[in-house]
Amino acid sequence: MDASTIRTLTADRDLPRLAAAVRRLGSSATTDLIAQLPATEAAVVFRLLPKTVSVDVFDRLDRGTRSDLITALGTTELTTIFADLDPEDQSRLVDELPAGVATKLLSAVAPADLDAVMAVAGYDRNSIARRMSPTAVVAWADDTVAEVADRIRAADVDLADVRLLPVLTADRTLIGTLDALALLRCDPHAPVTSAMDPLETVTHTSEDQETAARAALRDGVPVLPVCDSENRLVGIVPIDDAARIIAEADEADFALSGGTQPLYRRYLPTPILTIARTRIVWLLVLAVSAVLTVHVLEIFESTLAEVVALALFIPLLTGIGGNTGSQAATTVTRALAMDEVGLRDFARVAAKEFTTGLTLGVLLAVPAFAIASPLYGLDIGTIIGLTLIVNCPIAALVGGSIPLAAKACRVDPAVVSTPFISTFCDASGLLVYFTIAITIMGL
Amino acid sequence: MDASTIRTLTADRDLPRLAAAVRRLGSSATTDLIAQLPATEAAVVFRLLPKTVSVDVFDRLDRGTRSDLITALGTTELTTIFADLDPEDQSRLVDELPAGVATKLLSAVAPADLDAVMAVAGYDRNSIARRMSPTAVVAWADDTVAEVADRIRAADVDLADVRLLPVLTADRTLIGTLDALALLRCDPHAPVTSAMDPLETVTHTSEDQETAARAALRDGVPVLPVCDSENRLVGIVPIDDAARIIAEADEADFALSGGTQPLYRRYLPTPILTIARTRIVWLLVLAVSAVLTVHVLEIFESTLAEVVALALFIPLLTGIGGNTGSQAATTVTRALAMDEVGLRDFARVAAKEFTTGLTLGVLLAVPAFAIASPLYGLDIGTIIGLTLIVNCPIAALVGGSIPLAAKACRVDPAVVSTPFISTFCDASGLLVYFTIAITIMGL
């Protein structure tokens, strides 16, 4: 395999064949190949290496090539090549980057290019790895308290990044954390491990960034260390960055639950057309799916012509159904975001929401029947009451299931819930309503 | 004025007369009076003193009475007496507690009683004062670095509470903050003021807790010092407490935007009836207000009888109207929570939402007309298109205004928005729809 073959395969974006080819070469041959290729192609080849080989190759490369490689991993061209891969291909072709290489990338790349480089490095868009900063100061397991204190004094870094230091063994395995303030209280000659907090949980690069950030803030951890799958430290997430992750996630959830996309900028200075753009997509989705309600009503057009009074309760009944559905969706979406429920709980959530919906349906049906019967007749009162009893459990069941279904399809639950639920509940509510009406009135 | 008069006035809950009476006494007479009263009555009298007098009286009291007073301020009985006052009366009768007294209260009261005591102390339910912790360690303006470091070493407190120390003058005025880690980097003999960060903003006890907590997290401040109106330190809010305040506020906003009350507990273990209770209130409010739509449709019952096809588009049009309204409400509610807009911006928000709504109405009307006309006739197509153009700006205007109106009435915008908007938009949408239909069809 020579450089021109590599170039052709890269130009053709035939990454599967390229991956198969480079995986047959040994570390030494690969190092030579990478050294003679132009930086971008070298970077493509490098990212396709198996994890065990890539750390070895990276170590063998000379300083210059290594630095070219790191810069190349941040180029737009390379980002585009890997962005074209779908996630399954990416995880099949691109192995986890060894912690040593990832750490060097983190500290070598300009902050503005970090997100692009981490994408090429194979970290998922929602993973905590995409929000890592370079580790400012570490404590080694054989350090004394005084040695670590000196290292903090000497380091020209933001204090926020050193409030909690990762404690590492010689091979960068994370074994604990050290609150930098605890150094003030310790004997300078004591081993750093005596002041260390043992590790309770390790946050891995692949973890969902919102989940990881929420856990860090809940526990009041000032700096969150992030490790690869072998518990070797890769980078850190200071608490203010964790707070930012949560603020963005909450802004998005809140906006989406209100049927709009998040603005991610201040409201007043944002131009009208930008605001309209965040809203129009949803309104169109809603409008297209609301066409379903038109079709459902068309089925019952003759029933409506016979008993026009039935039309009076359409907004009331679809409103209650839609609200019951969105209440269920809101509760389950939040529980998902808080990591309280998962896909394994599908049956429990469904049963819970169905029963809750039935309870609500009965609680609403009683006053509805009592008020509507004297005003619009016993028939209409019964129809409205029965519709509530039948439709509320359906709406709650669907509303509670959709966020879980979305999660299973790897879609943000907040994105799909609102328009889908209101449309579904409107249509199902109308079907239930008219079916009950036809049966009771004998139409 | 003698002890028995005080007891009668306290028993009668006639606080205005009691306040007027005790305010006529001097510091010395008040101190004597408080010393002879049983602790609960003494505490009532104490809370009714003007600020200038209460600090003086507190200083004159002997140790035992002082400690009884502090304990009494936490009793249920006293809390009930002051809880009965409406907020205006409270702020009129009960003066701001001097920082020195508030600080002693904070550190003397058990954490479980803190909220009750802070209520009696006159702090508003949503104020940051209600979430303060006692200050663990302070730095005095004339300290050296070594003196402060020794104080941290000697203090038996959680490290999280001393990451940032308030720097105070002799009269407890906050003049800056000191990052405790900066001590590691300083010459031990240097004055502490040389390592101090000057004060940019001061958080006062009366500030809204959500606003204060968001600002602290955004700025990555590890500990937030809280001062009285004279910038004297009262207490602190560590960052993990600030994170908890925001998490609770977000949970509430998110739940309310989905038309349900927040659970504030884990979803799966919560009993069905508890969940149903968080939802039924909203559904009933919605149902009662949805009766409005029934009345609107009754007005147009004869029109519906003539052209049954008009009923087909009721869910579609009310759905789009309701969604346009809730989009506007969501954006404005978030901007309010983020302190980006206030009541002063009412006209700008209204104008912005009206224009956005008009833009959205036109964007939706064009495809709606193009699709509906060939299927249901030119009349229906025109009616649907015009309804969207007229109703969307109304819905957006109302949706954007309601959160501001709620704020003006000191009601949580998230509480009132959803049901009010969906009902209003349904009713207004139906009115617009049938008015346009009658005009165009000449019914």
> SS3 string of chain A?
CCHHHHHHHHHCCCHHHHHHHHCCCCHHHHHHHHHHCCHHHHHHHHHCCCHHHHHHHHHHCCHHHHHHHHHHCCCHHHHHHHHCCCHHHHHHHCCCCCHHHHHHHHHHCCHHHHHHHHHHCCCCCCEHHHHCECCCCCEECCCEHHHHHHHHHHCCCCHHHHCEEEEECCCCEEEEEEEHHHHHHCCCCCEHHHCCEECCCCEECCCEHHHHHHHHHHCCCCEEEEECCCCEEEEEEEHHHHHHHHHHHHHHHHHHHCCCCCCCCCCCCCCHHHHHHHHHHHHHHHHHHHHHHHHHHHHCHHHHHHCHHHHHHHHHHHHHHHHHHHHHHHHHHHHHHCCCCCHHHHHHHHHHHHHHHHHHHHHHHHHHHHHHHHHHCHHHHHHHHHHHHHHHHHHHHHHHHHHHHHHHCCCCHHHHHHHHHHHHHHHHHHHHHHHHHHHHHCC
Looking at residue B1, its pLDDT comes to: 61
The shortest C-alpha distance from A62 to chain B (Å) reads 37
* Interface residue A239 vs chain B (CB under 8 A): yes
Range of the domain at B208: 139-258
In terms of Cα–Cα distance, which of A403, A328, A316 is closest to A360? A328
Q: Touching check for A130 and chain B: CB below 8 Å?
A: no
Angle A63-72/A99-108 helices, nearest 10 degrees? Answer: 80
Which tokens sit at A327?
A: 């209440």
How many whole angstroms separate alpha carbon B138 and alpha carbon B155? 11
B155 and B192 share one domain: yes
Q: What was the ipTM of the complex prediction?
A: 0.74
The answer to whether the Cβ–Cβ distance between A308 and B308 falls below 8 Å is yes
Return the pLDDT at B4. Answer: 78
- Separation of alpha carbons B109 and A167, rounded Å: 38
CB contact under 8 A, B276 and A359: yes
pLDDT at A416: 67
Strand partners, A139: A167
| pLDDT for the residue numbered B416 | 67
CA distance B104 to A293: 64
- Give the residue from chain B lying closest to A419, CA to CA: B323
Q: Which residues of B touch A330 (CB under 8 A)?
A: 254-255, 257-260
pLDDT digits (tens, 9 = 90+) for A423-438: 788 889 999 999 999 9
Q: Which amino acid is at B203?
A: T
The residues, ordered by sequence, that sit 6+ positions from A193 with a Cβ below 8 Å of its Cβ are A141, A167, A176
CATH of the domain at A58: 1.25.60.10
User: Is B32 at the interface with chain A, CB within 8 A?
Assistant: no
Our measurement of the distance from residue B270's CA atom to the centroid of its chain's CA atoms, rounded to an integer in Å, reads 26
**CATH code: domain of residue A277:** 1.10.357.20
Task: Report the candidate in B195, B149, B181, B240 with the shortest Cα–Cα distance to residue A137.
Answer: B181
| Closest approach of A311 to chain B, Cα-based (Å) | 7
φ, ψ of residue A219 to 5 degrees: the values are -85, 0
Residue A237 phi, psi dihedral angles, 5° rounding: -125, 105
Could you tell me if B357 and B328 are in contact, meaning their C-beta atoms sit under 8 angstroms apart?
yes
- Asked if A195 and A145 touch (Cβ cutoff 8 Å), the reply is yes
Do the Cβ atoms of B180 and A183 come within 8 Å? no
Strand partners, B165: B178
CATH number at residue A157: 3.10.580.10
Distance set, CA B24 to CA A152, A169, B19, B54 (Å): 60, 71, 9, 13
Residue of B nearest to A350 (CA): B268
Residues in contact with A188: Cβ distance below 8 Å, sequence separation at least 6, in sequence order: A144, A145, A146, A149
CB contact A319 to B (< 8 Å): yes
- pLDDT at residue B337, rounded to an integer: 80
CA distance B399 to A365: 29
A161, A177, A241, A257: best to mutate for the B interface, most B CBs within 10 A: A257
Are the Cβ atoms of B220 and A341 closer than 8 angstroms?
Answer: no
Selecting from A153, A246, A355 the residue whose C-beta is nearest the C-beta of B185 gives A153
Q: How far apart are the CA of A283 and the nearest CA of chain B, in angstroms?
A: 7
Same domain? For B207 and B298 the reply is no
Would an 8 Å CB–CB cutoff place B150 in contact with chain A?
A: no
Strand partners, A168: A140, A174
Q: Give A-chain residues touching B247 at CB under 8 angstroms.
A: 214, 217-218
Whether B98 maps to a domain, the answer reads yes
* Residue A317 lies inside a defined structural domain of this protein: yes
* Residue B421 belongs to some domain of the structure: yes
CB contact under 8 A, A267 and B332: yes
Residues A180-208: b if buried by 16+ CB within 10 A, e if exposed: bbbbbebeeeeebbebbeeeeeebbbbbe
Q: Do B272 and A359 touch (CB under 8 A)?
A: yes
Domain end among B212, B231, B258: B258
Contact of A372 with chain B, judged by CB distance below 8 Å, is answered with no
Q: A379 and A440 in contact (C-beta within 8 Å)? A: yes
Contacts of A324 in chain B (CB under 8 A): 279, 283
CA pair distance A328, A339, nearest whole angstrom: 16
**A363 to B276: CB separation less than 8 angstroms, yes or no:** yes
Q: Are B53 and B182 contained in the same domain?
A: no
- The reply to whether B356 and B382 lie within a common domain is yes
A-chain residue closest to B238, CA distance? A220
Beta-carbon contacts of residue B265 (< 8 Å; ≥ 6 apart): none
From residue A85, alpha-carbon distances to A69, A95, A350 in Å are: 21, 14, 36
Please list, in sequence order, all residues whose beta carbon lies within 8 angstroms of the beta carbon of residue A12, skipping any fewer than 6 positions away: none
Between CA B115 and CA B131 the distance in angstroms is: 8
Q: Which two tokens stand for residue B61?
A: 């009291």
The domain boundary, picked from A103, A126, A149, lies at A126
Is A200 in the same domain as A295?
Answer: no
Q: Is residue A77 part of a domain?
A: yes
- Nearest chain A residue to B345 by CA: give it: A268
Q: Nearest CA to CA, how far is A117 from chain B (Å)? A: 26
A337 in a domain, yes or no? yes
Q: Which of A163, A294, A323 sits opposite B283 (nearest CB)?
A: A323
Query: Which residues of A, range 97-126, sit inside 8 Å of B by Cβ?
Result: none
Please check whether residue A147 touches B, CB under 8 A.
no
Tell me which of A228, A258, A288 is where a domain ends.
A258
Tell me which residue of A317, A259, A413 sits closest to B399, measured CA to CA: A259
Nearest to B320 among A287, A301, A360 (CB): A287
- Give the strand order in the sheet containing A233-238: A203-204, A223-227, A233-238
* Residue A379 domain-assigned (yes or no): yes
CB-based contact B422 A319, cutoff 8 Å: yes
Residue of A319, A332, A288 whose CA lies nearest to A420: A288
Alpha-carbon distance A201 to A212, whole Å?
11
In a domain, A40, yes or no: yes
Between CA A319 and CA B334 the distance in angstroms is 24
A vs B: CB pairs below 8 A: 300
Are A306 and A393 found together in one domain? yes
pLDDT beneath 70, residues of chain B: 1, 83, 87-88, 91, 415-419
Residues B36 and B166 in one domain: no
CB A135 within 8 A of CB A235: yes
Out of A259, A266, A319, whose CB is closest to B323? Answer: A259
| CB within 8 Å of chain A, chain B residues 322-351 | 323-324, 326-327, 329-335, 340-341, 345, 348-349
**Of residues B185, B202, B111, the one with CA closest to residue B145:** B185
C-alpha separations of A34 from A2, A61, A83 in Å: 11, 8, 22
Which of B293, B308, B367 faces A301 most closely, judged by CB atoms?
B308
Residue A134 lies in a domain: no
What is the dihedral sign for C-alpha A415, A416, A422, A425? negative
A202 shares a domain with A298: no
Low-confidence ranges of chain A (pLDDT < 50): none
Is the sign of the CA dihedral A162, A167, A173, A176 positive or negative? negative
Distance CA B139, CA A287 (A): 62
Residues of chain B neighbouring A340 (CB-CB closer than 8 A): 266-268
Q: Do A364 and B220 touch (CB under 8 A)?
A: no
Q: Please, are residues A97 and A206 in contact by the beta-carbon 8 Å criterion?
A: no
| End-to-end Cα separation, chain A, in angstroms | 79
| pLDDT at site A209 | 92
Q: Which among B244, B257, B355 has CB closest to A257?
A: B257
Quote the minimal CA–CA distance from B68 to chain A in Å: 35
Q: What is the CA angle A266-A335-A86, rounded to 5?
A: 70
Q: Answer whether A243 sits within 8 Å of B220, measured CB to CB.
A: yes
Residues of A with Cβ-Cβ distance to B151 under 8 angstroms: none
Q: Which residue of B has its CA nearest to A270?
A: B352
Q: Which of A247, A329, A335 sits opposite B267 (nearest CB)?
A: A335
- Nearest CA to A208 out of A261, A130, A134, A264 is that of A130
Residues B285 and B351 in one domain: yes
Rounded-to-integer distance, Cα B175 and Cα B202, Å: 9
Domain count, chain A: 3
Task: Determine whether the interchain pair A355/B272 forms a contact, defined as Cβ–Cβ distance below 8 Å.
Answer: yes
- Pairing of the two strands A233-238 and A223-227: antiparallel
CA distance A91 to chain B (A): 33
- A431 and A308 inside one domain: yes
Q: How far is A101 from chain B (nearest CA, A)?
A: 29
Asked whether residue A63 falls in the same domain as residue A212, the answer is: no
Instruction: Give the chain A residue whose CA is nearest to the CA of B429.
Output: A315
Residues A78 and A184 in one domain: no
